[in-house]
């Protein structure tokens, strides 16, 4: 008989796990993504009920801090938090202490004093979410940092493709347009390749960043390259990001003529996605935007349930237990 | 041309150290006796004769370092680095001389400003400091400064520092007229329309992270232009903080063609690449930016073969709140005086990429030669400039450990090998650790 050994290691209280955030797609494993998509699916079913509010995050505080203008992302985060019964607070840069020159660090400390459970932040500069994470105790959700990442957009896009095709693995997605200035493109390249999709970037040479193929995607400057794709993902021509006189393209007219997505350039049955807001007649022909193969409205709906899943996942752990997904009897 | 405060010159006997002086061709275990600021005797078993004895067994005794590129923040931003803290940091890093850049507020572009600075250095500087003056007034690239008068007032050289001289015609005039000073022009090579909006090196890392790229060609195209002008005018030229492989190639070709061009490189460009920027730590943001591995390898090779003659820390102190912001909002620049030797010993000498003697030469005699300063050397009759190095000692880089007023080091938290045990500058013991 061997000695009976006491496993002292096991008797120690478990160490406090590190705070979980959603800052970049690269921080997620494939399992993490699958879990989030499955959770989103569960929430989608709950939203089919007559009373859509769930008690899941009752008593939790979610603060949305937007340093850049946003309609769909900010409204979708706010509604997602409300659907889960969390308290929400929204702060915009203009009209706040940011106008008075307060630093992001000081703003983070100020908001942290309210003990929020989650801070959702959009900021024009790369790394702003990490800075807030270092200076508060809250879980941080990156709602877009400069040209770097927009992870919830990529998750909702995966969700949309999963709904449409039943799988993402093996899909061929062409991302068309201003990749250089697009955080949506960067998050999507990472998310799509993580799930086994093939990604081709298409656009003017001056808007395809040098070295981007190291992310595991193909690159083409010819619009004909979209023909082979299952999904054509059109990026907005971000005129507000163009530095004056930078001459990335000589004119929007020439861009549209060469890289605009028109019905003539699509195969029947090819699905079209766009993160919004669209510039109709610039990067996307209105006939494409309004066609049955456009999944753009589906994307917006997917945004709500995906963001519900993200908030839920950060504040609990793992998939939604069935019992939790009961409608709240609201007075 | 160098200014420091007066102080007591100690009589020292440093015993049994491995004396390494690449210029004198010495590498032997010796005693070194210092009498009143002068190296008096080298030998074995020297008589202490009442001198203070310093045990050097197991340590390397070398000529101390000369830093050709330091930002002191005087005048204008004394909260970040006054003369006293900057020169204490230099002493702790093993330096016996540093050269300060004119990117101050006001800019060192007149004899009056330079005169005031040299006066302050005489009362505050722990180690001798030299000052470079601006090439153009306000370093705004339009009008030449009164270079002849500035040289008479003690300017070691001329530079517009972080600013390129954009107009080729003005650069040519600076080379032509600057010849009367007998002092070198030192150039920050950056083509602003190519670097505009750039925060990090343009390549796979900037593509993935979404940063505006600052391509290598923004530097090398300017290096090529300035070397062409220097060749045409037959004037010497010094290239500040080179970062790109193409710049090194251009410098090498110009030297082979007979152009009197020199170059310098920083510890961070020798030890790190843009991969490090993935942490988004603003203490990895500097101009020029960290580049790719091929660039880094080219810089190491050029330092080894002498194409690049000098290591410059490019010590750029910044207040904490300036760097506690998102990467894109942070100013360029990192500190380096107190970590240069240890970083280069750890990352280049210990793995065998560069011999110790070569590093010592490039940190001391190399930069001194570029600016026509006396080369620190360990020889009888030479002024007592000595640094005692412990190449086996490890230490951790922490904020609390810095003498510099600022803590924006790219090495925070790292454990480095190589410690400065003692620095003697102009006969004074300015650091012991």
Could you tell me which chain B residue has the CA closest to the CA of A211? B204
- Let me know if residue B89 belongs to a domain: yes
- Let me know if residue B39 belongs to a domain: yes
Beginning with the edge strand found earlier in the chain, give each strand of the sheet holding B237-239 in spatial order.
B65-70, B95-100, B129-133, B157-159, B185-187, B237-239, B261-265, B310-311
* Same domain flag for B82 and B53: no
* Predicted local confidence at residue A329, as pLDDT: 37
Is residue A257 helix, strand or coil?
Answer: helix
CA distance B289 to chain A (A): 16
Chain A CB contacts of B329 below 8 Å: 125
Mutate to test the interface with B, among A126, A131, A182 (most CBs of B within 10 A): A126
- Let me know if residue B7 belongs to a domain: no
- Let me know if residue B6 belongs to a domain: no
* Same domain flag for B42 and B174: no
CA distance A102 to chain B (A): 11
Using CA atoms, how far apart are residues B183 and B147, in angstroms rounded to an integer?
Answer: 9
The residues, any chain, with a CB within 8 Å of residue B248's CB and separated by 6 or more, are: B242, B263, B298, B299, B301, B302, B307, B308
Question: Which of A105, A186, A243 minimises the CB distance to B208?
Answer: A186
Q: Which domain holds residue B386?
A: 12-60+382-432
* pLDDT classification of A324: cutoffs 50, 70, 90: very low
* Predicted local confidence at residue A242, as pLDDT: 58
**Can A258 be counted among the known catalytic residues?**
no
Using CA atoms, how far apart are residues A50 and A35, in angstroms rounded to an integer?
Answer: 26
* Predicted local confidence at residue A319, as pLDDT: 44
* Same domain flag for B122 and B240: yes
**Can A147 be counted among the known catalytic residues?**
no
Chain B CB contacts of A105 below 8 Å: 321, 324-325
Residues B69-83, mean pLDDT to the nearest whole number: 93
Chosen domain end from B318, B337, B370:
B370
Interface check for B205 against chain A (CB to CB < 8 A): the answer is: yes
Residue A269, strand partner residues: none
pLDDT at residue A267 tops 70:
yes
pLDDT digits (tens, 9 = 90+) for B296-325: 999 999 999 999 999 999 999 999 999 999
pLDDT at residue A70 tops 80:
yes
Residue contact A131–B326, C-beta within 8 A: yes
* Predicted local confidence at residue B254, as pLDDT: 98
The helix-helix angle for A183-194 and A151-165 (nearest 10°) equals 50
* Same domain flag for B333 and B426: no
Using CA atoms, how far apart are residues B25 and B42, in angstroms rounded to an integer?
Answer: 14
Catalytic site residue from B27, B314, B374, B390 = B314
The CATH number of the domain where B217 resides is what?
Answer: 3.20.20.140
Residues A189-193, mean pLDDT to the nearest whole number: 98
Query: How large is the C-alpha radius of gyration of chain B?
Result: 21
**Sign of torsion over alpha carbons A300, A306, A308, A311:** negative
Residue contact A146–B328, C-beta within 8 A: yes
Residues for chain B: how many in total?
Answer: 433
Residues A159-166, mean pLDDT to the nearest whole number: 97
* Same domain flag for B151 and B51: no
pLDDT digits (tens, 9 = 90+) for B126-136: 999 999 999 99
Residue contact B324–A105, C-beta within 8 A: yes
* Predicted local confidence at residue A181, as pLDDT: 94
Using CA atoms, how far apart are residues B60 and B20, in angstroms rounded to an integer?
Answer: 7
Chain A CB contacts of B327 below 8 Å: 125-127
Of residues B324 and A320, more confidence is placed in B324
Residue contact A209–B213, C-beta within 8 A: yes
Mean of pLDDT over chain A:
89
- Let me know if residue B2 belongs to a domain: no
Chain A CB contacts of B203 below 8 Å: 210-211
**Can A122 be counted among the known catalytic residues?**
yes
* pLDDT classification of A325: cutoffs 50, 70, 90: very low
* Predicted local confidence at residue A157, as pLDDT: 98
Residues A253-257, mean pLDDT to the nearest whole number: 93
* pLDDT classification of A51: cutoffs 50, 70, 90: confident
Chosen domain end from B319, B346, B370:
B370
* Same domain flag for B255 and B386: no
Tokens found for residue A143: 């709602």
* Same domain flag for B23 and B71: no
Chain A residues contacting B, CB < 8 Å?
103-105, 123, 125-128, 130-131, 145-149, 182-183, 186, 209-212, 214-215, 243, 246
* Same domain flag for B387 and B422: yes
Tokens found for residue A121: 């932040």
Nearest 10 degrees: Cα torsion B339, B342, B347, B353: 130
Residue contact B210–A210, C-beta within 8 A: no
**What are the CA-CA distances from residue A155 to residues A170, B200, B418 (Å)?**
17, 28, 48
Residues A117-133, mean pLDDT to the nearest whole number: 95
pLDDT digits (tens, 9 = 90+) for B254-275: 999 999 999 999 999 999 999 9
A 10 A CB-CB count for B122 gives: 13
DSSP letter string, B264-327: EE-HHHHH--GGGGGG--GGG--SSPP--HHHHHHHHHHHHHTSS-EE---B----HHHHSS-G
% of chain A beyond a pLDDT of 70: 88
* pLDDT classification of A240: cutoffs 50, 70, 90: low
Catalytic site residue from A41, A53, A72, A82 = A72
pLDDT at residue B282 tops 80:
yes
Mutate to test the interface with A, among B192, B208, B210 (most CBs of A within 10 A): B210
pLDDT at residue A34 tops 80:
yes
Residue B293's nearest CA partner among B321, B268, B273, B267 is B273
pLDDT at residue B102 tops 70:
yes
Report the complex ipTM: 0.90
Residue B275's nearest CA partner among B218, B219, B204, B346 is B204
Q: What is the domain count for chain B?
A: 2
* Predicted local confidence at residue A14, as pLDDT: 57
Could you tell me which chain A residue has the CA closest to the CA of B282? A127
- Let me know if residue B3 belongs to a domain: no
pLDDT at residue A321 tops 90:
no
Residue contact A126–B328, C-beta within 8 A: yes
pLDDT at residue B328 tops 50:
yes
Residue contact A126–B326, C-beta within 8 A: yes
CA distance A68 to chain B (A): 15
CA distance B322 to chain A (A): 10
Q: Beta strand B237-239 with B213-214: parallel, antiparallel or unpaired?
A: unpaired
Interface check for B193 against chain A (CB to CB < 8 A): the answer is: no
pLDDT at residue B342 tops 90:
yes
Residue contact A212–B321, C-beta within 8 A: no
- Let me know if residue B5 belongs to a domain: no
Tokens found for residue B256: 């082979």
* Phi and psi, residue B327, nearest 5°: -45, -45
- Let me know if residue B4 belongs to a domain: no
Block residue for tokens 């941080």: A140
Q: What domains sit in chain A, N to C, each tagged with a CATH number?
A: 25-149+301-324 (3.40.50.1370), 151-298 (3.40.50.1370)
Interface check for B328 against chain A (CB to CB < 8 A): the answer is: yes
B370 with B79: CB under 8 angstroms? no
* Same domain flag for B358 and B407: no
Chain A CB contacts of B328 below 8 Å: 125-127, 146
Is residue A172 helix, strand or coil?
Answer: strand
Of residues A196 and A3, more confidence is placed in A196
* Predicted local confidence at residue A326, as pLDDT: 37
* Same domain flag for B56 and B163: no
Chosen domain end from B350, B370, B390:
B370
pLDDT at residue B195 tops 90:
yes
* Same domain flag for B86 and B44: no
Of residues A52 and A169, more confidence is placed in A169
* Same domain flag for B236 and B297: yes
The CATH number of the domain where B402 resides is what?
Answer: 2.30.40.10
pLDDT digits (tens, 9 = 90+) for B199-215: 999 999 999 999 999 99
Mean of pLDDT over chain B:
97
Mutate to test the interface with B, among A104, A140, A178, A209 (most CBs of B within 10 A): A209
* pLDDT classification of A15: cutoffs 50, 70, 90: low
């Amino acid at each position: 008989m061997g000695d009976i050994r006491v496993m002292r290691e096991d008797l120690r209280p478990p160490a406090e796990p590190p705070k979980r955030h959603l800052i970049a797609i690269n921080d997620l494993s494939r399992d993490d993504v699958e879990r989030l998509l499955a959770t989103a699916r569960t929430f989608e079913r709950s939203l089919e009920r007559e009373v859509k509010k769930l008690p899941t995050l009752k008593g939790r505080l979610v603060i949305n801090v937007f340093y850049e203008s946003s309609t769909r992302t900010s409204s979708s985060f706010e509604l997602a938090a409300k659907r889960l019964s969390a308290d929400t607070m929204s702060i915009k840069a203009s009209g706040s202490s940011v106008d008075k020159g307060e630093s992001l660090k000081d703003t983070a400390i100020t908001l942290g004093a309210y003990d929020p459970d989650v801070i959702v932040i959009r900021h024009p500069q790369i790394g702003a979410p990490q800075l807030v994470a270092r200076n508060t105790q809250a879980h941080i959700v990156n709602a877009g940092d400069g040209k770097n990442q927009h992870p919830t957009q990529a998750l909702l896009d995966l969700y949309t493709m999963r709904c449409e095709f039943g799988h993402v693995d093996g899909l061929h997605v062409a991302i068309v347009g201003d990749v250089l200035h697009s955080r949506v493109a960067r998050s999507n390249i990472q998310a799509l390749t993580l799930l086994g999709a093939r990604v081709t970037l298409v656009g003017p040479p001056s808007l395809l960043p040098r070295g981007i193929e190291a992310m595991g995607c193909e690159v083409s400057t010819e619009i004909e390259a979209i023909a082979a794709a299952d999904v054509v993902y059109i990026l907005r021509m971000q005129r507000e990001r163009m530095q004056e006189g930078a001459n990335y393209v000589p004119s929007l007219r020439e861009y549209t003529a060469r890289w605009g997505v028109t019905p003539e350039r699509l195969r029947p049955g090819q699905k079209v996605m766009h993160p919004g807001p669209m510039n109709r007649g610039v990067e996307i022909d209105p006939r494409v935007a309004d066609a049955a193969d456009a999944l753009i409205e589906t994307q917006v709906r997917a945004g709500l349930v995906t963001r519900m899943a993200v908030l839920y996942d950060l504040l609990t752990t793992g998939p939604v237990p069935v019992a939790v997904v009961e409608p709240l009897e609201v007075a | 041309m160098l200014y420091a405060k007066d102080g007591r010159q100690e009589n020292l006997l440093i015993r049994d150290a491995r004396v390494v002086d690449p210029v004198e061709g010495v590498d032997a275990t010796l005693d070194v006796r210092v009498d009143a600021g002068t190296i008096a005797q080298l030998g074995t078993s020297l008589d202490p004769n009442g001198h203070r004895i310093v045990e050097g067994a197991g340590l390397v005794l070398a000529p101390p370092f000369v830093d050709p590129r330091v930002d002191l923040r005087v005048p204008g931003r004394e909260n970040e680095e006054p003369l006293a803290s900057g020169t204490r940091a230099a002493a702790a890093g093993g330096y016996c001389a540093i050269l300060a850049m004119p990117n101050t507020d006001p800019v060192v572009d007149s004899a009056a400003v330079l005169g005031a600075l040299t006066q302050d250095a005489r009362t505050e500087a722990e180690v001798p400091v030299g000052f470079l003056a601006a090439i153009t007034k306000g370093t705004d690239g339009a009008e030449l400064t009164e270079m002849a008068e500035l040289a008479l007032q003690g300017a070691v050289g001329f530079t517009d520092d972080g600013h390129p001289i954009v107009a080729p015609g003005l650069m040519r005039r600076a080379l032509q007229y600057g010849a009367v000073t007998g002092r070198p022009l030192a150039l920050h090579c950056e083509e602003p329309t190519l670097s505009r909006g750039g925060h990090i090196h343009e390549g796979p890392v900037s593509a993935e992270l979404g940063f505006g790229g600052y391509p290598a060609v923004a530097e090398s195209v300017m290096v090529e232009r300035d070397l062409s002008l220097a060749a045409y005018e037959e004037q010497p030229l010094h290239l500040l903080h080179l970062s790109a492989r193409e710049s090194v190639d251009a410098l090498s070709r110009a030297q082979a063609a007979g152009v009197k061009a020199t170059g310098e490189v920083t510890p961070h460009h020798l030890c790190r690449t843009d991969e490090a920027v993935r942490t988004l730590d603003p203490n990895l943001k500097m101009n020029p930016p960290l580049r790719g591995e091929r660039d880094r390898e080219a810089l190491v090779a050029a330092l080894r073969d002498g194409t690049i003659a000098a290591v410059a820390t490019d010590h750029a102190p910044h207040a904490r709140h300036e760097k506690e912001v998102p990467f894109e909002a942070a100013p360029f620049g990192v500190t380096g005086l107190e970590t240069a030797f240890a970083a280069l010993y750890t990352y280049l000498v210990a793995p065998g990429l560069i011999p110790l003697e070569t590093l010592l030469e490039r940190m001391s005699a190399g930069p001194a030669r570029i600016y026509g300063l006396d080369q620190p050397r360990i020889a009888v009759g030479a002024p007592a400039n000595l640094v005692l190095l412990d190449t086996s000692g490890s230490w951790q880089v922490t904020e609390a450990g810095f003498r510099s007023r600022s803590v924006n080091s790219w090495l925070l938290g790292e454990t480095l090998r190589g410690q400065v045990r003692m620095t003697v500058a102009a006969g004074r013991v300015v650091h012991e650790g």
